[in-house]
Amino acid sequence: MTTVIVVAERDEKGEIVQSTRQAVTAASNLPDAQISVVITGDAPGSATSLPVGRVVTIAPIESTDNGIYDQATADLAALVSADSPDVVMFSKSDFGSVVGARLAFRIGAAFAPDCVEISGDASDAGTIGVTRPVYGGSALAEFEIASSPAIVTLRAGAFEPNTDTGAPVVESFDTDGLERKPVEVSESVAESREGVRLEDADFVVSGGRGLGGPEPFSVLADLAEVLGGAVGASRAACDAGWIDHSHQVGLTGKSVSPDVYIAVGISGASQHMAGCSSSRAIVAINKDGDSNIFKEARFGVVGDWEKVLPSFLATVRELKA
Ligand SMILES: Cc1cc2nc3c(=O)[nH]c(=O)nc-3n(C[C@H](O)[C@H](O)[C@H](O)COP(=O)(O)OP(=O)(O)OC[C@H]3O[C@@H](n4cnc5c(N)ncnc54)[C@H](O)[C@@H]3O)c2cc1C
């Protein structure tokens, strides 16, 4: 038997949303699943006809605490401790993503976000298996979660909504007197920036792993300053600690559309190009003539940046003068 808690969400009319019905399908696919649906609010509404064994109401959410959902996290942590389920399922909504991650952290459980498949029998081998997209969606990876409970969020549309009806037992979980410790913001650090915002710049000079270290970014900054632009970077350069992540351009960084995007020592991986391909012109400086960036660039120089960039900067200075 696998015990599952599905955390339900409602729409503005109070109806159970489709993604919750999809989660019920995902839960029903697990062998010998015993499903409880948890819903916030005193009146369970249409949850009472879901094809599950039990519906549990918990206190209505009074405040989302600026989106941090302290109350729901605390109440669900108490319910999960009392119930000891094998799996807790959320939809991959704002609510599910935030509360699922916070719940996992609070109770020390494994968190698997954005799952498209779930399988396994907690009572048999004791593991739950999930499949989720990785590498920007270009591959699917399978994971086994050995610890209990497994907390998962499910990608919308990965499962058909369950439209069956049932007659679950309805219970309420008393959260009166529960300590709902709010998140304390210990420090806020404003992003430091000189000059034009990366997203607003007409010229962006970006550096990648090919720069070989943090120092060359000062040359890029000189060029950006002369052009009245901003400095960008590839994720590889940011991950190496050569420049702050606020400069990262790409799928998991910022999207920019300058008049001119100058890519120095950047190979042109699809995830990088996702953030700059709408630039009006891309200029590439790269020592490898076969590098993908040259397929995307309107102008290119095949060469070592250490030789190319100083003369490029000097010429721009001359033209500006
Ligand atoms: C889910 C996911 C999200 C991602 N998101 C992003 C993202 O938002 N932004 C991003 O940038 N990446 C992202 N990546 C990473 C991306 O796949 C690449 O790994 C990364 O962009 C590579 O950075 P790079 O071009 O600086 O390094 P490399 O690919 O290592 O390229 C370095 C380049 O420098 C050239 N070079 C070396 N020496 C010199 C020299 N002396 N002079 C001139 N050229 C030289 C080389 O020929 C090479 O082409 C993501 C990856 C994943 C899986």
User: What pLDDT digit, counting tens, does each position of 213-237 carry?
Assistant: 999 999 999 999 999 999 999 999 9
**Is residue 21 scored above 70 in pLDDT?**
yes
CB of 168 closer than 6 angstroms to any ligand 1 atom:
no
CB of 286 closer than 6 angstroms to any ligand 1 atom:
yes
Q: What share of the chain is helix, strand, coil (3-state, %, to 5)?
A: 30, 25, 40
Mutate to test the pocket of ligand 1, among 198, 235, 254 (most ligand atoms within 8 A of CB): 235
| Cα–Cα distance, 21 to 251 (Å, whole number) | 31
Smallest CA-to-CA distance from 275 within 210, 198, 182, 192 is with 198
Q: Quick one: DSSP state of residue 285?
A: E
| Cα–Cα distance, 147 to 155 (Å, whole number) | 22
Boundaries of every domain in the chain:
2-172, 198-320
CB of 240 closer than 6 angstroms to any ligand 1 atom:
no
CB of 299 closer than 6 angstroms to any ligand 1 atom:
no
Smallest CA-to-CA distance from 204 within 159, 153, 150, 256 is with 256
| Cα–Cα distance, 21 to 26 (Å, whole number) | 9
CB of 206 closer than 6 angstroms to any ligand 1 atom:
no
Ligand 1 atom with minimal separation from the 209 CA: 26
Which CATH class name applies to 198-320?
alpha beta
Centroid of ligand 1 to alpha carbon of 209 (angstroms) = 6
**pTM assigned to the model:** 0.63
Q: In this predicted model, which residue has the larger pLDDT, 134 or 119?
A: 119
pLDDT at res. 64: 65
**Is residue 196 scored above 70 in pLDDT?**
yes
Mean pLDDT (whole number) for 123-135: 82
CB of 210 closer than 6 angstroms to any ligand 1 atom:
yes
- Per the CB < 8 A criterion, the answer to whether 85 and 151 are in contact is no
Confidence class for position 176, pLDDT limits 50, 70, 90: confident
Q: Which protein residue's CA is at the shortest distance from atom 31 of ligand 1?
A: 267
Centroid of ligand 1 to alpha carbon of 298 (angstroms) = 19
| Cα–Cα distance, 170 to 36 (Å, whole number) | 10
Centroid of ligand 1 to alpha carbon of 115 (angstroms) = 27
Answer yes or no: same fold for 2-172 and 198-320.
Answer: yes
pLDDT at res. 66: 60
CB of 245 closer than 6 angstroms to any ligand 1 atom:
no
Which CATH class name applies to 2-172?
alpha beta
Mutate to test the pocket of ligand 1, among 287, 295, 305, 312 (most ligand atoms within 8 A of CB): 287
Confidence class for position 105, pLDDT limits 50, 70, 90: very high
CB of 207 closer than 6 angstroms to any ligand 1 atom:
no
Confidence class for position 67, pLDDT limits 50, 70, 90: low
**Is residue 279 scored above 70 in pLDDT?**
yes
Centroid of ligand 1 to alpha carbon of 305 (angstroms) = 15
In whole numbers, what is the pLDDT of the chain averaged over residues?
91
Burial 223-247 (b: 16+ CB within 10 A, else e): bbebbebbbbbbbbbbebebbeeeb
Centroid of ligand 1 to alpha carbon of 30 (angstroms) = 41
